[in-house]
Structure 1
Amino acid sequence: MSTASFGDSASGAGCLDITYRLYQDDDSKLEQVTAPADTLAHDPSAPAWGLALAPGLPAAQRSAALAELFCLPTDEPLPAGAAEEGAPLQPRFSGVLLMTAASVRSSSVAPIGVPGDQPGAQRNIGGGEWGRYAPRDTGKPGTLERRIFLQENGRDISPWHDIPLRNSDGTINMVCEIPKDTTAKLEVATGEEGTPIKQDVKKGKPRFYHEPIPWNYGMLPQTWEDPQHCDAALGNLTGDNDPVDVVELSGVQLAAGSVHRVRALGAFAMIDEGELDWKVLCVRADLPLAERLHDIADIERELPGELERVMIWFRDYKIPDGKPPNAFGYGGAPLGASLAGRVISDTHALYQDLVSGARANDEALFLT
């Protein structure tokens, strides 16, 4: 396997970013990610990744980038049509190596046709706690066999049990399950050994949203919505037997399996088929936007209409499956940061009761 490193590009702009589309054997598009090319390696046995360089890239820079991408000697011509502006390409890359790529460092590449993309949207597949935790992606994306394990110092760990909920700086940790602008419904498998991330199943097949989710979506480690615990403030609704869900609002795409420090801003009390399914709203703490977001009112000021968009999306996303809209407690109004913090503390306590044995593991979840 040979490394395809762009290094300093012909324009002197630094490492190029490449936008890839992963295709299944039937050419159905599954997901799109962006990464610096110098983190990738050429692997003829790996799945195909579609590629397109940004329009307007200088010809010399485009040709040099493509030559390194395909690991070609300097005297070997590019594949036919490869240097044409906006040409779609399908070199082959290792998906595992792609998932360990570092943060996006420039905006040299334009998004290529994923529904719901916003022009100029930032993308990132690392960041946060990336240096400490790294995903180990196994199996083919879009299949029931795929698992994303988390590693620390080269050792597999559980994203649910082995990552702390809180940090010393007052932030909390989020594990990204579903990257922004993707459709594969990924989730932590709480009943499997090691609790890896896997794709949800619907009628025996991998589950996909009917449209890309507009935000990064994930879970809070060491939390649990107990299906035997009644919430008196919400008509004695019980939990959905999962870790608490988080919706990350920065607009910067994260990677499935990446871990990030976030600040909780508020929460929606969603009711899904009679179960309480909290949606905690958060923002990555290492981004400038986080300096301006501390509570619900800040979201409305800095991101006008975002709260309503979140509520409507989660209310309606199951309608195409023939199911009714989801309901919300508190009249659909989001709770503020203080009450969201209480939700997080309460579900952390329920998790601790579960793993300590104070509450019987009747659901046969993986705890050791």
Structure 2
Amino acid sequence: MNNAELNEFLEKYGQMFRPNPWHGIKTWDDESKRVLNAYIEITPNDRVKYEVHKESGYLMVDRPQKFSNIIPQLYGLIPRTYSDKKSADFAESETGRTGIVGDLDPIDICVLTEKNIKQGDILVNCVPIGGFRMLDGGEIDDKIIAVLKDDAMFGHITDVDQVPTAVLEELKHYFLTYKEIPVKEGEAKVEITDLYGAEDAMKVINLGIEDYNEKYVK
């Protein structure tokens, strides 16, 4: 099923059945491809890490947090994206490293908002402004940073360099520590190689769409 056929199917049957948020939701909310649809898995109120069950689209418990790490902002995935060869090749070109592979997951996204949104398993409209280039054991695991569309505090921001440093440092600390710590001997360390702006964020998203299409769109 190609993209046109999938869109036609969703328009015809989308109101009858709940679509899988990874495969059944459009990446972009508008024709200008400026506003993303983001599926939110966890919120700052969650002490359990939830993750979408890829086969069914239902939200499942990934793991209870072993430490006091709480995601500072909304966190989830970008529909119809996938981290594979094109995404990994771009990371290699930007870092100068070799041997990087995709993590074979949808691209993660963190959405900045001043609202206390307590409900996960929702869709939000947001605008990408940058991202963290993150490596997890040699796998690319980018974290796109976006702002909630029309948010009172963050909605005017167009690039990550306009975000207060304290907000970015809080996010960075979470992503570097939210997995099992301390790192066991012999395990690869999670690292953030750099923070990039809106232009590179768009490149990462579009490459993730290309990787997705090569994997899932026939």
Alignment TM class, shorter chain as reference: 0.7 to 0.9
Where does structure 2 lack aligned partners over 5 or more consecutive residues? 1-12
- The offset of 1:317, in angstroms, is 2.3
Q: Distance in 2 between matches of 1:209 and 1:228?
A: 34
Residue 288 of structure 1 corresponds to 152
> Is 1:309–2:207 an aligned residue pair?
no
Structure with bigger helix share is: 2
Identity %, equivalent residues: 25
Contact 2:132 2:195 (8 Å CA) reproduced: yes
| AA matched with 2:138 | G
Q: 1:175 to 1:229 in 2, by over 3 A?
A: closer
Number of residue equivalences: 194
Residue 25 of structure 2 corresponds to 163
Contact 1:266 1:335 (8 Å CA) reproduced: yes
* CA-to-aligned-CA distance 1:279-329 (integer Å, 9 cap, x gap): 0011110322344211012113xxx41112211221122353644752122
Q: Distance in 1 between matches of 2:199 and 2:123?
A: 23
TM-score by length of 1: 0.49
Structure 2 counterparts to residues 312-351 of structure 1, below 5 A:
312-320=173-181, 322-323=183-184, 325-329=189-193, 333-351=194-212
Q: Distance in 2 between matches of 1:229 and 1:293?
A: 25
Where does structure 1 lack aligned partners over 5 or more consecutive residues? 1-150, 201-205, 358-368
2:162 aligns to what SS in structure 1? Answer: helix
Q: Distance in 2 between matches of 1:248 and 1:209?
A: 24
> Is 1:241–2:104 an aligned residue pair?
yes
Q: Which of 66, 78, 84 in structure 2 is aligned with 1:226?
A: 84
Q: Distance in 2 between matches of 1:341 and 1:245?
A: 13
Q: Distance in 2 between matches of 1:319 and 1:153?
A: 40
Contact 1:181 1:215 (8 Å CA) reproduced: no
> Is 1:207–2:70 an aligned residue pair?
no
| AA matched with 1:248 | V
Q: Distance in 2 between matches of 1:293 and 1:229?
A: 25
| AA matched with 2:158 | H
Contact 1:319 1:325 (8 Å CA) reproduced: no
Greater Rg over alpha carbons, structure: 1
Q: Distance in 2 between matches of 1:291 and 1:256?
A: 20
Contact 1:227 1:241 (8 Å CA) reproduced: no
Q: How large is the Cα RMSD of the aligned pairs? A: 2.3
Q: 1:290 to 1:306 in 2, by over 3 A?
A: closer
Contact 2:39 2:76 (8 Å CA) reproduced: yes
- The offset of 1:253, in angstroms, is 3.5
Contact 2:103 2:139 (8 Å CA) reproduced: yes
**Relative contact order (C-alpha < 8 Å, sep 6+): which is higher?**
2
- The offset of 1:229, in angstroms, is 6.1
1:297 aligns to what SS in structure 2? Answer: helix
| AA matched with 2:67 | H
* CA-to-aligned-CA distance 1:112-143 (integer Å, 9 cap, x gap): xxxxxxxxxxxxxxxxxxxxxxxxxxxxxxxx
Q: 1:244 to 1:297 in 2, by over 3 A?
A: same
